[in-house]
Amino acid sequence: MLKIIILCISFIIPTSLVFAHEADHNKTKKQYHTVDKLKVTTLSTMLASRGIGEWGYAALIEVDNKKILFDTGNRPDTVLQNAEDLKIDLSEVEDVILSHNHGDHTGGLLKLHSVLSLKNPNALKRIHVGKGIFSKRHNRSNHIIALRDKLKAKGVEFIIYDKQQELFPGVWLTGPVERIHSERNWGGNGKIVTSNGLIEDNIPEDLSLVVDTKQGFVLVSGCGHAGVINTMEHINNHIHPGKITTAIGGFHLVSANDEHLAWTAAKMQSFGLTNLIGAHCTGVDALYSIRTLLKSDRKHMVVGSVGDQFDIKSGIKAGYIAH
């Protein structure tokens, strides 16, 4: 009888320990939200077969029940006009993301707010930016400071991020991105004024939008001054590991040489990239080079154009001129 009791105890204790371990593992394992619906529509870039083309970038992000404006183009009227031509109502947008301080991404903001707030007082009421966007620049005025002051006087809130943040379920901002690889996707001549003197202006505030889907991450970038590969590594290191299947926007590869493009393409492949809309400063030839290096096609990797779209269910719908 004693022998039977001992055998029973020896079976029960290890089993209970296993169940306890599994419970602890499940408690510590992070559950990440993925979105069900996502559509990205380009509203500002150079190429256009409808609407207005310009040197700038803007995109409307429609994700689940939210609408987000990512950057606002260069000229005051471009995004407004293109949205009207595409029969898109931007007055429902309450959140704006500014990828960085440059005028070709922020130029439409003031006019957009003035016009859209007449229809909806809550239009564009929150502006999301990376830390460093309001830094004093040497030998030039940082126009975003005056823009901020004008909009704050109208009740607009500016929210500054110094690290990654989930904005809505499954929708992330990268925050400023570490420059692990020397992609150097900026001019190199600018300086930032600090209390310790001048430092190089590497556009420290540069951030991107990341949407978590069941298929993998979708990355939306304004210029990619932090570097597209640095940004992808930042996503895996600071949001969570996973495939980055889609990249949309500007990636500042227009001046990249063949060696750098080959390195970029290989890294993109390692992240699982299958869809690419290279708009704005990506460069037309750079996009074609990457498409060739990745053995892709015109269905999955295209030059960005006004009105083009990406949908997680149907993929890329390129603009007519980008075919």
Q: What is the pLDDT of residues 204-219, one digit of tens each?
A: 999 999 999 999 999 9
216-221 and 95-97 strand pairing: unpaired
Q: Provide the mean pLDDT of the chain.
A: 91
Angle at 254 between CA 308 and CA 237, to 5 degrees: 80
pLDDT for position 29: 45
In a domain, 72, yes or no: yes
Q: Is residue 282 part of a domain?
A: yes
pLDDT of 63 reads: 98
Helices 143-152 and 109-119: crossing angle in degrees, nearest 10, is 20
Each residue's pLDDT tens digit, 39-71: 999 999 999 999 999 999 999 999 999 999 999
Looking at residue 187, its pLDDT comes to 73
pLDDT of residue 43: 98
> For the chain, how many structural domains are there in total?
1
Domain harbouring 305, CATH code:
3.60.15.10
Domain ranges, residue 158: 36-322
Is residue 30 one of the residues assigned to a domain? no
Q: What is the pTM of this model?
A: 0.90
What pLDDT score was predicted for residue 140?
84
Within 13 Å, how many C-alpha atoms sit on residue 231's CB side?
37
Ranges under pLDDT 50 in the chain? 1-29
Residue 262, domain member (yes or no): yes
* Spatial separation of the C-alpha atoms in residues 57 and 47, rounded to whole Å: 11
| pLDDT score at 184 | 80
100 assigned to some structural domain: yes
Dmax of the chain from CA atoms?
91
Q: Are 210 and 172 in contact (CB under 8 A)?
A: yes
Place of tokens 């500014």: 98
pLDDT at 3: 45
Quick check: 193 and 90 in contact, CB under 8 A? no
93-115 per-position pLDDT tens digit: 999 999 999 999 999 999 999 99
150 found inside a domain:
yes
- Within a domain: 8: no
